[in-house]
Structure formats: structure tokens, C-alpha cells
Structure 1
Amino acid sequence: MPLQAKLDAFRADFEAGKPPYNVPASVITVMHRATAELISSGVAEKTLKAGDTAPSFTLNDPEGHPVSSAALLEKGPLVISFYRGVWCPYCNMELQALQQAWPAFRGLGANLIAISPQTAVNSRKSVRQNHLEFPILSDTHNDVAAEFGLRFALPDYLVELYKSLKNDLPSFNGDGSWTLPMPGRFVIGQDGVILYAEVNPDYTRRPEPEDMIPALQKAARLTNGS
């Protein structure tokens, strides 16, 4: 089943309040309001696009080892997925889909990383629960996400809702700022230029992993000089 079909099926059950979710309609209304406001703000239009140069960064993996984007790009093109955290079911389904596509990416010479503001212990949980073979890097304060144009602050009413649901982002992230990245997917060529960029302020919408294959094929051709 395509990734978006899985996300749509989950959303339908979640918003209908079906067990085990049992979510009140008032909660759904607040979530819809926040998403609509983020979309209308136009912030997604200011994110990095294909043709832009990606910022270089070094972030720690769940074991505390630094991982450099420059070092990864020396080996081949780089696929990056920015996601919100282990607490987000939409993000977990996306990670699982990326894991399924990982052999195809690797076959085209690419590396794959995920980036999240969450702490190392939560990244280890993400890796374990989603059976991942690629690393998750901790982007404290969403600083790298901000360089890509993805960071946004949750409105006060959404912060209050998250608190009422025991979704304590400061605890998950080790950061009291109540910021998140918009989900974003990028393919970066070895020269540092972005070949593919997909960002959606609606966190329930994610591109299919296969959508990046043409960009990775282009990267392979550039590497081979053809």
C-alpha cells in the first residue's frame, strides 16, 4: 500500500475517534485550526528548494557520534528526512516506508538519514520500534531545520492542547522552545546542490519514497559524468 494511503487510513480512524484512539472532536478541531494557520502563513514557501545549496551540518547520532553531511556527500548523494518525533504516528509510518525504500536508494549510491529535534534516547526508540537501518540524528533546538526553513513555533493554544494530551515536547526534545520542523524530504547531490525538495505544512501529507528516485538517478548520472 502506498505511504499516503496508509496515512489517510490512519487519519480517518483517528479523527473518527475509533478505538484505541477515542479522541474528542474538540481536539481534532484544534489540530485542524493549527494546520490551516500554518498553511496560510506561507512559511512553507520560504523553505529551501531544488537548485538551492544545502547548508553543511554536523549532528550526533543516537550513540553520541558526530555525523557530518560533508563526509556523507563525499560518498554519494544524500537523502534527508526531517520528522517531528517518535510520538508522531505519521512520522513513524514515513520512517517505515523509507526503510522499505532504503535498498533502492543504496543501489543508486545514496546515503539516507533522518533528522529530528528529539533526544538520543527517543531516537534509539524510533530506530528500535521502526526497525531502521539508517541513522537518526538529533537536531537540538531545530537549528538545522531552521537553516532549511522548516522550523516553526507552535501557537499557544496548540501548546496547551499538547500539554493536556501529555505530549510534552520539552521532555521529548530536551528543549523548552516548543518548536517543530515541518516534515521535509530532500535529495542533495555531491556538489551540495538540492536536487529534490518536498515540504508540506500539513503533517498528515508525505511524499512517496519512490518520488525521489529520479533525483537519485540524476545524481548518479552527474557523478558518472554522463
Structure 2
Amino acid sequence: MNFKFLTREESRVCVQIKIENLRQRGPWAINRSLIVLLFVFAATMFKPSLLAAKTPDVGGTAPDFTLSTPEGRAIRLSELTANGKVVLVVLRGYPGYQCPYCQRQAHDFQVNAGRFAENNTQVLLVYPGPPAELGERAKEFQAKQGELPANFHLVIDPDYKFTNQYGLRWDAPHETSYPSTFVIDSHGVILYRKVSHAHGDRTTADDVLAEVVKEK
């Protein structure tokens, strides 16, 4: 179901018109309908972002999703977890520039690709941002890291579908998503979660590998 959220001015005008119509019908109609109008007006003050999905937590099942690589290859989370653990790393992507904290974090994880492979773990990096040229921006991001290891995947989220699905949308100027990391087991259950509300507060490869080994 699609909802149209009115602006405050549109809501105010609608309420005024409705009240004027009710006045012509008498006091009883005003008293009966005014309560309903007040509820409708209050509802329009809430932004859709406040109704975002709740971020999945430890012990819960990671919602399945499919995103594409910058080259257009579709990757589905459940197909990765069917083969072992998955570390899901949500980057800030492209908020108007290449985030240096994201580059540092991605480099740290890729340097430790062999340790992830030893523990039968794949790493899925999500790169969100405005749809215009996001694939090219993601390629630029990856070029700074070098070729992806075989157990690493970089996908883009150009319409924030995944970001909203996981309740991670950072809805502010020059922002995209909250930097986050999840460790998901072969049954799709979340073993570890960290959601950061600051640019530099990131998990390290050592942090995540400690969780991966602990849950063997």
C-alpha cells in the first residue's frame, strides 16, 4: 500500500477547508469530526523515515536480499550463507565522496582475506548511495583496494532498498547508511552485530574473526 505524506502547509489547508465545511453542517458535525481530523493532522507530521524497519538483532534471522555487483551480477545473501558464515559489512558507500573510513575498513578486511577463508567465511560489502553512477563510484572505491579476493563480494544499493530493509538508513545531508557489521551463520542467524552512528567507529577484521572463531 502506498501512502502520500502531505507537507505541513498542505495538511493545514486541508484541515481548514474541512472545518469550514463542517461549520455549515452544524456544531454536532464539528465535534464528531474534529477528533478524526486532529489524528490525521498529527500523523502527517511524522516522516516516513520514522517508520523504517527495525534493524535485525543477534539471535534473529537476517532478512534475505539480493543486490548486484557494479558489473551487474546478482548476489543473494541466502546463497552465500548456504556455504558457510557470512560477514555482512555495510559501508557508507558514496555520500558525495569516497569515505576514507570505509576505505580503511575494507582494506583491513581484505588484508585478512586468508584468515576468513580458513574459517569458511565470505565477506559481503554493501556500497549504498544515490543511484546516479553508483556502480562507477563503487568501481573507483574497489580500485583503491585492488582485486577482490575470491571470498569477498562488493554489491551496490542504489535505491536504499536493502538499507531501509535493515533499518540502517542515515537520513541526513551527505549521509547514506549507518556503518554496520553483522556475522551470519549458515542458517541465516545473526551471531554478531555492530551498528555505528559515527563515521570512524568501525569493526576491525580482528574483532570479527574473534566472533567467527568463537561460534565454530
Q: Same fold (TM over 0.5)?
A: yes
Task: Provide, for residues 116-170 of structure 1, a one-character-per-residue CA deviation record: whole Å limited to 9, x for no partner.
Answer: 114111111111111241221011222212222211211xxxx3xx5xxxxxxxx
Distance 1:218 1:52 in 2: 18
Provide the TM-score with structure 1 as the length reference: 0.64
Distance 1:76 1:195 in 2: 13
The one-letter code matched in structure 2 to 1:148 is: Y
The one-letter code matched in structure 1 to 2:143 is: R
Q: Which residue of 1 aligns with 2:203?
A: 207
CA-CA distance at 1:207 after TM superposition: 1.8
The one-letter code matched in structure 1 to 2:120 is: G
Counterpart selection for 1:121 from 120, 136, 140: 136
CA contact (8 A) 1:116 1:142 kept: no
Counterpart selection for 1:186 from 171, 176, 182: 182
CA contact (8 A) 2:82 2:187 kept: no
Q: Which residue of 2 aligns with 1:88?
A: 99
1:140 is aligned to 2:158: yes
CA-CA distance at 1:74 after TM superposition: 1.1
CA-CA distance at 1:193 after TM superposition: 0.6
| Secondary structure at 2:104 match in 1 | helix
| Secondary structure at 1:135 match in 2 | strand
**How many residue pairs are counted as aligned between the two chains?**
154
Determine which structure has the larger helix proportion and give its number.
1
Identity across matched positions, percent = 27
Unaligned runs of 5+ in 2: 1-53
Distance 1:122 1:49 in 2: 30
CA contact (8 A) 2:163 2:177 kept: yes
Unaligned runs of 5+ in 1: 1-45, 163-178, 222-226
Moved over 6 A (4+): none
CA-CA distance at 1:218 after TM superposition: 4.2
Q: Rg larger in 1 or in 2?
A: 2
CA contact (8 A) 2:124 2:155 kept: yes
1:197 is aligned to 2:210: no
Q: Considering Cα pairs closer than 8 Å and 6+ residues apart, tell me whether 1 or 2 has the greater RCO.
A: 1
Q: Which residue of 1 aligns with 2:72?
A: 64
| Secondary structure at 2:176 match in 1 | strand
CA-CA distance at 1:217 after TM superposition: 2.0
CA contact (8 A) 1:99 1:132 kept: no
CA contact (8 A) 1:96 1:132 kept: no
Distance 2:199 2:169 in 1: 13
Distance 1:108 1:74 in 2: 15
Distance 1:91 1:113 in 2: 14
The one-letter code matched in structure 2 to 1:209 is: A
CA-CA distance at 1:85 after TM superposition: 2.0
The one-letter code matched in structure 2 to 1:145 is: T
CA contact (8 A) 2:93 2:126 kept: no
Q: Which residue of 2 aligns with 1:11?
A: none
Computed over aligned residues only, the root mean square deviation of the Cα atoms, in angstroms, reads: 1.8
